[in-house]
Amino acid sequence: MTTKIFSNLPPPGPPGETRLRVFSVTSGKGGVGKTSIVTNLAVAFAKMGRRVLIIDADLGLANVDILLGLTPAANIHSLLRGERRIEDILTEGPCGVRVLPASSGIYELTHLSAEQRISLLSHLDALEDRFDTVLIDTGAGIASNVMYFNAAAQEIIVVVTPENTSIADAYALIKVLTQNFGEKHFHVLLNMVQNEFEAINTFRKIERAAARFLNLSLNYSGFILRDENVRKAANAQKALVEEYPVTPASRSIRFVAEGLLASRLRTGMKGTPQFFWKRLLSEEQDAVIQGIPG
């Protein structure tokens, strides 16, 4: 499938039309279905009338474009090298979702310097007011890029499966973000569960540990049922919610999307009606001036 690359961004919405929501979607370990959740939530949000942008922030192992059957003309690597403008690399996906594609197999992107972050944030600033919902697909684990994009977002969604390794690694991720980056609020989304009982039981394991050792109260954001059609949609390079709209996982995703948008931003939560990167841009510039490594 050839991707339509656009040069004209969607127009800004009327002032105060919809408050911007910026979600990072992250996980303690790989293989938990994080990117599939990002792409399907994005399409679900778009079907609800939102203007959606996906930032593929798994910079060295990107696969948002693969899951959606897109063929970007260029990616973030080209942007950082000064070869393309951001308008040239934004790629149109299903239901009008826009994707800022990353690159796979380029090691230097896995450890961005402070100067590179400033460059990226400067480019992203040009998109201010063009979207009202942003999904950041981070890498897995606790690498510096993962921490950086999670700290940048207004709201952090941690994806967990019932496997003990996923639970342990999700807790480790939350611990690092809490103790090293001052994060206090987390959505926890259970994926690939057999039923609601398994989802709640898994959530409670993380919740008890977070309450006891981190003094945190986690937000249960629902679950996505295990569904063979997820694999079929991925193989077809289609969004599940479009290819198999009435399957259990599709219904789960729509329910989660509705719940996330219905939830209110907490008082004092990061973010303004402008994009999150505007604030970070000045912070990164200060870090460079003071000689703080990225």
DSSP at 5:
B
Residue 91 pairs in a beta bridge with 5, 99
What does the CA dihedral 231, 73, 86, 132 come to, rounded to 10 degrees?
Answer: -30
Residues 139-166 have a mean pLDDT of 91
H/E segment holding residue 116: helix 114-124
**Between residues 147 and 125, the one the model is more confident about:** 147
- Angstrom CA distances, 158 to 1, 35, 120, stand at 31, 12, 24
Quick: pLDDT tens for 209-223: 999 999 999 999 999
Residue 177 has pLDDT above 70, yes or no: yes
Separation between Cα atoms, residue 190 and residue 146, nearest integer Å: 20
Q: What fold does the segment set 21-289 form as a domain?
A: Rossmann fold (3.40.50)
**β-strand 187-193 against 219-225: which pairing, if any?**
parallel
Residue 13 has pLDDT above 70, yes or no: no
Q: How many residues does the chain have?
A: 294
DSSP at 272:
-
Contact by Cβ (8 Å): 111, 145:
yes
User: Please, what is the average pLDDT of the chain?
Assistant: 83
Separation between Cα atoms, residue 98 and residue 86, nearest integer Å: 12
Separation between Cα atoms, residue 103 and residue 82, nearest integer Å: 15
Among the ranges 109-113, 265-269, 278-282, which has the highest mean pLDDT value? 109-113
What is the residue extent of each domain of the chain?
Answer: 21-289
Residue 273 has pLDDT above 50, yes or no: no
Strands (E), 194-245: 219-225
| Sheet strands side by side (includes 155-160) | 91-92, 98-100, 52-57, 133-140, 21-27, 155-160, 187-193, 219-225
| φ and ψ at residue 209, rounded to 5 degrees | -65, -40
* Model-wide pTM > 0.95: no
Separation between Cα atoms, residue 101 and residue 77, nearest integer Å: 9
